[in-house]
Structure 1
Amino acid sequence: MDVRTFWDLIATLGGWPLADEITPFARLEEELRTVRDCEEFEDLLTKCLFDLDRSDLANAGRRRSDDSFLYYRAAVVVAGEDAYRSMLHGRPEEFRRFTDGTVPSCEGLLYVAQHAFERITGETWQYVGELDYETGSNRAQW
C-alpha cells in the first residue's frame, strides 16, 4: 500500500469530527482485504502517529494522559492528510481543536488493521512493526 492509498482510505472515514465512534472504522476495516493490506496500513498509520508524537503538540493541547494524547493524534490522522501535514510543519496551535474532548473518540483507528486481520484470517493479530506510536516513543521530538 502506498501513501496515497493510505490517505484515500482515511478519507473514507468522512473527516473529523466523526459522526460516531464505530461505523466509520467498521467500514474502513472492510476496505482492508489481505494480510498485506493490514500490515501496510498499520505501518503507515504508526508512522503518522509516531511523527505526531512531539512535545510541542502535547504542550499545545489539553493533554490529560498519554492515552488521550495518542487519541488526539489519531484524530489528526482522521482529519486527513492536510491536517496531518499542517501539524508536521510548525502549526501546533491548531492541535488544540482536536483536544476539546466533546467529539467521538478516534481510538478506534488504532484497531482497524487488527480487526481486519482477525476477520480475514480468524487468527489473533501478532504483528509488530518497526515503529511504535505510544506517547513518548519518538524520543528525538521530546
Structure 2
Amino acid sequence: MDENGFWQLIEGCRPEVPDPDAEHLAAMLTTRLAAGPVAVVIGFAENLSWALYRLDRREYGSDLSGDAFLYTRAAVVAAGREAYERVLRDPAEFVPYATDLVWAESLLYVPDRAYEHLTGEEWDRTPATPTSPIRMPPVGPVDSHVLRNAMRTPVYQRVGRVCSSDACGGCLSRAH
C-alpha cells in the first residue's frame, strides 16, 4: 500500500456522522483490512507509523504526556489527509486537537486487529535478528565499506540519505 492508498482508505472509511474518538473509523478500517491480504495490513501499518512519526515534533506536543501526544497525533491522521497536511504545514493547526484532547487511540489498534483476524495469530512485531551485525562507523571519516553496509539496512532503504554533505558520502548523521 502506498501513501495515496493509505489516505484513500482513511477517507473511504470515515463515517459521515461525528466520530470524536475515531471508534467508527477504526471499526470500518479493521473490517476492510481484515478482508485481506496480509500485505495490505502491513502496508497500512507502515503508512500509519510514518504519518504518526512525521507529527512527532516538539512544537506539536511539548505540553502533553507521551500517551496523550500519541493519541492526539492519531486524531490528526483520523481527520484525513487535508487536515493532516494542514497540521504539517502549520503547527498552530495542531492546537485544537491538543487543547480539546481529541484522541483517536482506537486507530492505533487497527492493523493488529486486522492481522489477527486474517492469520488467527497475534502480530509479533519483534524485529528479526540480522544475519550479520552492522559495523558501527569509526570516529572520524566513514570508510566506504561501512557506508555500503549502512546502505543495506532497512532504515537507510526507507529513509534514504539524511546528510546532505558530500564530504562524508551521504552518511546517516544529522550532525553535519
Do Structure 1 and Structure 2 share a fold, with TM-score over 0.5?
yes
- Residue 134 (structure 1) aligns with: none
Question: How many residues matched?
Answer: 127
Q: Aligned equivalents of 2:123 and 2:104: distance in 1?
A: 20
Normalised by the size of structure 2, how large is the TM-score?
Answer: 0.64
Structure 2, unmatched stretches of 5+, are 128-153, 156-173
1:70 alignment counterpart: 70
Partner Cα distance (1:4, 1:68) in 2 = 27
Q: Distance in 2 between matches of 1:49 and 1:16?
A: 24
> Contact 1:41–1:113 at 8 Å: present in 2 too?
yes
| Alpha-carbon contact 1:39-1:113 (below 8 Å) kept | yes
Give secondary structure in 2 for the equivalent of 1:99: helix
Q: Which runs of 5+ in 1 are unaligned?
A: 132-139
Note the 1:29-108 alignment, pairs <5 A: 29-32=30-33, 33-59=36-62, 63-89=63-89, 91-101=90-100, 103=102, 105-108=103-106
Aligned residue identity for 2:107:
L
1:14 corresponding residue in structure 2: 15
CA distance, structure 2, for counterparts of residue 55 and residue 20 of structure 1: 23
Give the TM-score normalised by the residue count of structure 1: 0.78
Comparing 36-45 with 8-17, greater Cα deviation is found at 8-17
Distance 1:46 1:15 in 2: 25
Cα RMSD (Å) of the superposition? 2.4
Query: Hey, which bits of structure 1, 4+ residues long, moved more than 4 A?
Result: 128-131
Residue aligned with 2:114, SS: helix
Paired-residue identity, %: 38
